[in-house]
A and B are shown apart, each in its own frame.
Chain A
Amino acid sequence: MVEAIRRRLVIASTALLMLALPLVADRLAMPDLVALGTQVAIYAVAAVGLDLLIGYTGLSSFGHAGFFGLGGYVVGILAFHAADGSLFLGVVPGATAAWIAWPAAILISALAALAIGALSLRTSGVSFIMITLAFAQMLFYLFVSIKTYGGDDGLGFRRRNALPWINPRDDVAFYYVCLAVLALVLAACHRLVRSRFGIVLLGIKQNERRMAAIGLDGGRYKLAVFTLAGAIAGLAGALQANLLRFVSPDMLHWTMSGDFMVMVVLGGVGTLVGPVFGAAAMVLLQSWLTQWTEHWMIVMGPVLVAVILLTRRGIWGALAGRR
């Protein structure tokens, strides 16, 4: 009971802080805080999706950045073709409206996850980690090699995707858009993990052989959640492209996949809200530490080890008490 109240308090005060962030940034005359907050919200969306795999299904995907980057490139490529009026593959026109570009990013990432999942999920354990990594790296090299879209250097575009009633140049408005997306994704996943589907995932995580013996064809559920996590990563990637008005192969690099895993583990595996704290810790530490040294991972590494050793469920476990 006390723990339930404590959990609600932590969530409420965090939500309040995030809502008030632009005001705080204004008062402290630190406008960069809004960009940092936006980055936290975007990474958090992707990390929450990854937690569905790692924390709820027991699938340690090391290829999450592949779908994140793919979503980003869909936005970038559509913007590129819209700018010069050309056609993608000679058929698809460009687009700058969010209601076209974002669903397209989600769809393409989901389809890629469906295909990659169908192949990767034949394996498990370390093989699964390696094969998801390999597929994401294939996507990375694919975009490095496409010179039309900037290759190594990436692809910039002038304006954010157009949303109704929202000025695309207004950074604070875009921050609230990302925050709203995060809230929606969290709420939907919160329902999901308590549904019949979510219960089956938890069963698979605990004892897949047992689940088969009571009549479950687990493969379909693993593929479904892998596709869903890919779609969520694609959405996050679309937001990321809009934040920077730039996409590059770095978004798909394996170190990005590693960062997403760190956010999940640091924040609290299998907690959904934990990865939000993990994303915040990662972004803030990175931005502060890079002021002192470019080797910020030298500090980040020990922090990660300490959090894993000292807490049961990451930052969220420490804040909200163990469950």
Chain B
Amino acid sequence: MTALLRASGLTKRYGGLLACNDFALAVMPGSLHALIGPNGAGKSTAIGLLAGEIAADAGDITFDGNDITQVAIPARVKRGLTRSFQITSVLPQFTALENVAIVAQIRAGHSFCFWRDARDDRRLTDPARAMLDRVGLGPRAAILAADLAHGEQRQLELAMALMTGARMLLLDEPMAGLGQSESQDMTALLAALKGRVTILLVEHDMDAVAALADRVSVMVSGRVIAEGSFADMQSDPAVREAYLGEAG
């Protein structure tokens, strides 16, 4: 089987710092692939490069067999590659429903429609409502995103990413800032998605990684130093050293 997403030689330099250094990764279709590593390893930079938000200094990215290295973010989203953010990123003055409906609108094509009221367009709100139900936010549809609890905002972000029709999600620490029970809810949500959407999961929560990941890549100082099953990584001496016994 060939990889859905493949990166090779990805490099990003910030001044003297190599945030990504000859970064290579292959994510198999249908798998949940975890990318872990200590703070500052370059995980978010890698996500930014893969999503098209950051321009690489060197390297190639292929998605579904096509070279997308030079493809802009919106076009990557149209091909089915969507990211989420480490720091919660929603539209605070829109309700939960509006946050998802606007994604449905963008997916439906251009928005150069100046006259018809779009706020209660059932073609947008119906699928948005269904998506909110799917992530467990159905009852909170009418609440402003700014007034949602942090855990709910993270669920909303996932709903927005899914609403793009993504075949592959790049999730940057979806559990960041969540309490234990909220983390478990999010883990259950991702477990339900697993297999239907290919996922690259950046996460510090090792319980979640252990429960979810088919494969784990460990990133240190801008490059992947080891890859295998979660158990393999736990016993890998290089990984143990990188984490200084912190995890693993």
Chain A residues near B (Cβ < 8 Å): 191-192, 194-200, 202-203, 206-207, 209-217, 221, 224
CB contacts (< 8 Å) of B116 on chain A: these are: 195-196
Q: Is the Cβ of A195 less than 8 Å from the Cβ of B114?
A: yes
Q: Looking at the complex, which one of B78, B82, B103, B111 makes contact with A196 (CB distance below 8 Å)?
A: B111
Q: Is B102 in contact with A199, judged by CB distance below 8 angstroms? A: yes
Contact B103 A214, beta carbon cutoff 8 Å: yes
Contact B91 A203 (CB under 8 A): yes
A-B contact pairs, 22 of them (CB 8 A): A194-B119, A195-B117, A196-B105, A196-B112, A197-B112, A197-B113, A199-B98, A199-B105, A199-B111, A200-B102, A200-B105, A210-B89, A210-B91, A210-B160, A212-B74, A213-B53, A213-B83, A214-B160, A215-B107, A216-B74, A216-B111, A217-B74
Q: Contact check, A213 vs B111: say whether CB atoms are below 8 A apart.
A: no
The one of B83, B94, B103, B114 that contacts A206, using a Cβ cutoff of 8 Å:
B94
Is the CB of B93 closer than 8 A to any CB of chain A?
yes
Interface size on B, residues (CB 8 A): 36
Which residues of B sit under 8 angstroms from A209, Cβ to Cβ?
53, 89
Which 9 residue pairs across A and B have the least CB separation, nearest first? A215-B77, A196-B111, A196-B113, A196-B118, A200-B111, A206-B91, A217-B74, A214-B103, A210-B89
- Chain B, Cβ-Cβ closest to A206: B91
- For the complex, is B115 an interface residue (Cβ under 8 Å from A)? yes
From A206, A221, A224, name the one whose CB has the most chain B CB atoms within 10 angstroms: A206
Collect the chain A residues with CB atoms within 8 Å of residue B113's CB: 195-197
Q: Which residue of B lies closest to A207 (CB)?
A: B91
Judged by DSSP, the binding face of A is helix
What is the distance, in angstroms, from B38's C-beta to the closest C-beta of chain A? 25
Whether, in the assembled complex, B40 has its beta carbon less than 8 Å from a beta carbon of chain A, the answer is no
Q: Are B91 and A213 in contact (CB under 8 A)?
A: no
Complex-state Cα separation, A202 to B105, whole angstroms: 13
Q: Does B225 contact A (CB under 8 A)?
A: no
- Nearest-CB residue, chain A, relative to B91: A206
> Out of B84, B106, B117, which one reaches A215, CB within 8 Å?
B106
CA A215 – CA B161 in complex, angstroms?
10
Chain A residue with the shortest CB-CB distance to B117: A194
Nearest A-chain residue to B92, judged by Cβ = A206
Closest to A194 in B: B117
Partner of A217, one of B51, B72, B163, B164: B72
Residues of B179-207 contacting chain A, CB below 8 A: none
Asked whether any CB of chain A lies closer than 8 Å to the CB of B90, the reply is yes
Residue of A200, A206, A213 with highest tally of chain B CB at under 10 A: A213
List 12 other contacts, CB 8 Å, given A199-B111, A207-B92, A215-B103. A191-B115, A192-B114, A195-B113, A197-B112, A203-B91, A210-B160, A211-B106, A213-B53, A214-B77, A214-B106, A214-B161, A221-B111
A213 / chain B contacts, CB cutoff of 8 Å: 51, 53, 73, 77, 82-85, 89, 161
Contacting residues, chain B, for A192 (C-beta < 8 A): 114-115
CB distance from A313 to the nearest CB of B (A): 13
Q: Which residues of A contact B119 (CB under 8 A)?
A: 194, 199
> A212 near B118 (CB under 8 angstroms)?
no
Which of B53, B72, B93, B107 neighbours the largest number of chain A CB atoms within 10 Å of its CB?
A: B93
Contacting A207 at CB < 8 Å: which of B83, B89, B118?
B89
Contacts of A214 in B (CB 8 A): 77, 82, 102-103, 106, 160-161, 163-164
Whether A199 pairs with B112 at a CB distance below 8 angstroms is: no
How many Å lie between the Cα of A207 and that of B87 in the bound state? 13
Contacts of B102 in A (CB 8 A): 199-200, 203, 214
Q: Closest Cβ of chain B: how far from A197's Cβ, in Å?
A: 5
Distance of B105 from chain A, by nearest CB (Å): 6
Residues of chain A within 8 A of B92, CB atoms compared: 206-207
Cβ of B89 and Cβ of A199 under 8 Å apart?
no
**A2 vs B70: C-alpha distance when bound (angstroms):** 54
Could you say which of A196, A199, A200, A203 has the most chain B C-beta atoms within 10 Å of its C-beta?
Answer: A196
In the complex the two chains form, what is the Cα distance from A203 to B113 in whole Å? 15
CB distance from B180 to the nearest CB of A (A): 28
Indicate if the CB atoms of A224 and B112 lie closer than 8 Å. Answer: yes
Contact status of A212 and B73, CB under 8 A, knowing A195-B116, A195-B118: yes
Q: Which of B113-171 contact A (CB under 8 A)?
A: 113-119, 160-161, 163-164
Q: Which residues of B contact A221 (CB under 8 A)?
A: 111
Chain B residue nearest in CB terms to A217: B74
Closest Cβ of chain A: how far from B171's Cβ, in Å?
12
CB distance from A121 to the nearest CB of B (A): 16
**Complex alpha-carbon distance, A212 and B117, angstroms:** 23
Write out the residue numbers on chain A whose beta carbons fall within 8 Å of the beta carbon of B103: 214-215
> Contacts of B85 on A, CB cut-off 8 Å?
210, 213
* C-alpha spacing A155/B117, complex, angstroms: 44
Tell me how far the C-beta of A214 lies from the nearest C-beta in chain B, rounded to whole angstroms. 5
Report Cα–Cα, A154/B50, bound state, in Å. Answer: 56
B 67-81 binary contact with A (CB < 8 Å = 1; else 0): 000001110011000
**Which residues of B sit under 8 angstroms from A194, Cβ to Cβ?**
117-119
Docked Cα-Cα span, A198 to B73, in Å, equals 22
- Please state if A215 and B78 are interface contacts (CB–CB under 8 Å): yes
Residues of A within 8 A of B161 (CB): 213-214
